[in-house]
Chains A and B, each alone.
Chain A
């Protein structure tokens, strides 16, 4: 079999489990999985990297749950306690904070690589939709988690951030009340965000992620159209152990980077939130919301009689809808042809997001 002579004990355990769980069959499926090897293979690692970082989040998140208290009176103090009294508490918290950012980053790179390599085309439309769902869930994870330390910056960022859905016509104020657990951002908001962050979102993510991973296994890795059209022999590498070992290299490197970030730029706590103090200058959302935030700042207050903010929010909604529908709109890719138009659209979107994020950090907040 695949075990060396000295691993008799391991073989026994394997046979015991196989009889009960069916390990051999699972292993056969795993062995069957191949990964195409070509110039764009490097992008295949990004989905797994995002998944790894998500696992880190779940693990550190569960550890944080053991000490965190989700009430306005105790949240800040419990994190202060965690950072100063609990052994390695600062490490768990810093990793959770950094991995969140890294995860959203790799998620975006994964998203854009899929877009540019047209991996969304038939038959992977549902995979694409489940991925868009995961994008929404990840951003919501970030938004709700940010408030939980109940510090000054988070409190005011949440005030501003929950104000924006209020701009949606008709259902806006209801949505805002639903999000905030009331009319203002209070301890009720904190508890609600906590419930969303540790229960509702994980449950939904399990569903969406399960579907996403199942479909990826089912359809295998997508090969970009121009590579597909090449007459050269199609090189592949086995998923297990070759691709997986490479995955591991990436994951461990990411872990090393996280450790370095946690050590050199530890998560700050800042001042406790005081709802009755005026907002400090330069309240900013998390970097992944910055481009939207900055766009809204540039919109004039009224366009054709409609409030600029409402148009902005609707615009983002439409933009999201457009992205979700790309597999259905890109007819050429569906047919396996080169689709330059959509490539350029995606590049434009990337440029827009990058430029506005940059402006958000460099433009003075008092303008």
Chain B
């Protein structure tokens, strides 16, 4: 056959068209791939076909051919010929290419979900996983299918998705917590264990607060990289805005960078982030300040001073709170005082945030009003209890009247009976 220029062009056009996303999308009916694979009786072959029914791509109208190529209308083995674009089971960078063909194409993706990002592949190749894959073809690094799986892909918001927030930690941990896998990279494998002890995990798994961070929130999704020393604060500060702003302006911010210390994680750890307590501040056994400071240096003295102030506010607040409660239970009206005491609680919370300025003056600014409010509430509580006493004094008057009447009656009886005798 003599293929003239026109036919060659036609063939090229056809080839291009057949590999284009929209054409592949249209290759749906009839779907012989699923039919054959499920009927063959081989579990290994049937599994993907079975699972694919739950996949979001299936729901949107994509079939096996969309990723694997081939011809879905052909019921023979010839359906899987390279001539028809069949690529078999892709591996390594091929997978990234296959996924990225659609997912990096903005005009294509917006037909399905205009809000989805289309830069995952770019991000991926900036990540440690992506760089290793490109540079050394390392088969052990994570690729799209490692996390998203292959034939039962669901959006991350779907609780059944392999990348739902609740599943992410264990997913990353399936490699990063395995010493055998990580040994050659010399990366520690205790992160998952530490993270599971953290307050972030507790909020996520126990309280069901899906806004709590898991691996990808701090390390990035597709561009996963451990945060640089200088940008830890920025990462934490995405949610912990107030603390981060205070920290940035404090003397610790520059010093930590100079010393190569990882910002927030210096005191709060990076994975094992526990719920904070006042014990972390000061020079006590459980304090974080003593890692660098002692009672002799200025920093240590500041720490101790801040701790003392916060402790005193907490104590004063508790004192006021309990005396008002006592008055309330005794039947006195103290709701106005209790209402005003709430502001002292706010002051205590603000004071604890203010610690991140690492300045006694800043903390004092929050603590002092709190102390004033607590003292006032305490006085009101005392007064309420005193009023209880005031009732007593008034009752003495009425008792005096009653006893006077009793006396008068007694005398009346005496006189009456003396007369009768």
The answer to whether residues A269 and B330 also contact, given A242-B416, A260-B395, A264-B392 and a CB cut-off of 8 A, is yes
Name the one of B330, B388, B394, B406 contacting A256, with C-beta atoms under 8 angstroms: B406
CB neighbours (8 Å) of B330 from chain A are 266, 268-269
Extra A-B contacts (7), CB below 8 Å, given A84-B333, A266-B330:
A248-B409, A252-B409, A253-B402, A263-B394, A264-B392, A266-B331, A267-B331
Task: Pick from A242, A252, A264: contact of B405, CB below 8 A.
Answer: A252
A252 touches B406 (CB 8 A): yes
Neighbouring B residues of A260 by C-beta, 8 Å: 395, 399
Residue B413 at the chain A interface, CB threshold 8 Å:
yes
The docked-state distance in angstroms from the alpha carbon of A247 to that of B332 is 36
Find out whether the CB atom of A83 lies under 8 angstroms from the CB atom of B403: no
How far is it, in angstroms, between the C-alpha of A319 and the C-alpha of B394 when the chains are bound?
Answer: 46
A126 at the A/B interface (Cβ < 8 Å)? no
Q: Is the CB of A263 within 8 A of B391?
A: yes
Interface string of B187-225 (1 = CB under 8 A from A): 000000000000000000000000000000000000000
A80 on the interface (CB 8 Å rule)?
yes
Q: Is A226 an interface residue (CB 8 A)?
A: no
What is the bound-complex CA distance between A80 and B334, given in angstroms? 11
A-to-B contact residues, CB < 8 Å:
80, 83-85, 90-91, 93, 241-242, 245-246, 248-249, 252-253, 255-256, 259-260, 262-264, 266-271
Q: Kindly list chain B residues whose C-beta atoms are within 8 Å of the C-beta of A93.
A: 331
Q: How far is the CA of A271 from the CA of B307 in the complex (A)?
A: 33
Q: With A242-B416, A252-B409 given, is the CB distance from A268 to B331 under 8 Å?
A: yes
Contact B331 A84 (CB under 8 A): yes
Residue of A nearest to B388 (CB): A266
Q: List 15 A-B contacts (CB under 8 A).
A: A84-B332, A84-B333, A85-B333, A90-B331, A93-B331, A242-B416, A245-B413, A249-B413, A256-B406, A263-B391, A264-B392, A266-B391, A268-B331, A269-B331, A270-B329
Contacts of B329 in A (CB 8 A): 268-271
Are B333 and A242 closer than 8 Å at their CB atoms?
no
Residues of B within 8 Å of A256, CB to CB, are 399, 402-403, 406
Question: Is the beta-carbon distance between B395 and A242 smaller than 8 angstroms?
Answer: no
Are A249 and B406 closer than 8 Å at their CB atoms? yes
Report chain B residues within 8 Å CB of A241: 416
Considering the complex of A and B, which 6 residue pairs feature the smallest CB-CB distances, nearest first? A83-B331, A84-B333, A263-B395, A263-B392, A256-B402, A252-B406
Given A242-B417, A245-B413, A263-B395, residue A252 in contact with residue B402 (CB < 8 A): yes
The answer to whether B333 touches A245, judged by C-beta atoms less than 8 angstroms apart, is: no
B395 and A255 contacting across the interface, CB-CB below 8 Å: no
A242–B413 CB distance below 8 A: yes
Nearest CB in chain A to that of B333: its residue: A84
Q: Which residues of A contact B392 (CB under 8 A)?
A: 263-264
- Rounded to whole angstroms, the CA-CA distance of A245 and B328 in the bound complex is 42
Q: B131 an interface residue at 8 Å Cβ cutoff?
A: no
Q: How far is the CA of A90 from the CA of B390 in the complex (A)?
A: 13
Could you tell me if B416 and A259 are in contact, using CB atoms closer than 8 angstroms?
Answer: no
- B416 / chain A contacts, CB cutoff of 8 Å: 241-242, 245
The digit string for B59-92, where 1 denotes a CB below 8 A from any CB of A, is: 0000000000000000000000000000000000
- B410: Cβ under 8 A from any A Cβ: yes
> What's the least CB distance linking B338 to chain A, in Å?
12
Give the distance in Å from the alpha carbon of A259 to the alpha carbon of B410 in the complex. 20
Is residue B412 contacting chain A, with contact meaning CB distance below 8 A?
A: yes
Query: For the complex, is B2 an interface residue (Cβ under 8 Å from A)?
Result: no
Scoring B331, B333, B409 by chain A CB atoms within 10 A of each residue's CB, the highest score goes to B331
Encoded as 1 (CB less than 8 Å from any A CB) or 0, chain B from 395 to 421 comes to 110110011011001101100110000
| A267 to B402 alpha-carbon distance, docked (Å) | 22
Q: Which residues of A contact B399 (CB under 8 A)?
A: 256, 259-260
Contacts of A245 in B (CB 8 A): 409, 412-413, 416
Residue contact B406 to A259, C-beta cutoff 8 Å: no
- Determine the chain A residues whose CB is within 8 A of the CB of B331 once the complex forms: 80, 83-84, 90, 93, 266-269
Contact partner of B409 (CB less than 8 A), chosen from A83, A249, A255, A263, is A249
Instruction: Look across to chain B and name the residue whose beta carbon is closest to the beta carbon of A89.
Output: B331
Closest chain-A Cβ to B329's Cβ sits at a distance in Å of 6
Q: State the CA gap A84–B327 with chains docked (Å).
A: 11
Given known contacts A269-B330, A269-B331, A259 and B398 CB-to-CB distance under 8 angstroms = yes
How far does the alpha carbon of A264 sit from the alpha carbon of B392 in the complex, in Å?
6
Say yes or no: A262 contacts B395, CB within 8 Å.
Answer: yes
Q: Of all chain B residues, which has the CB nearest A237?
A: B417
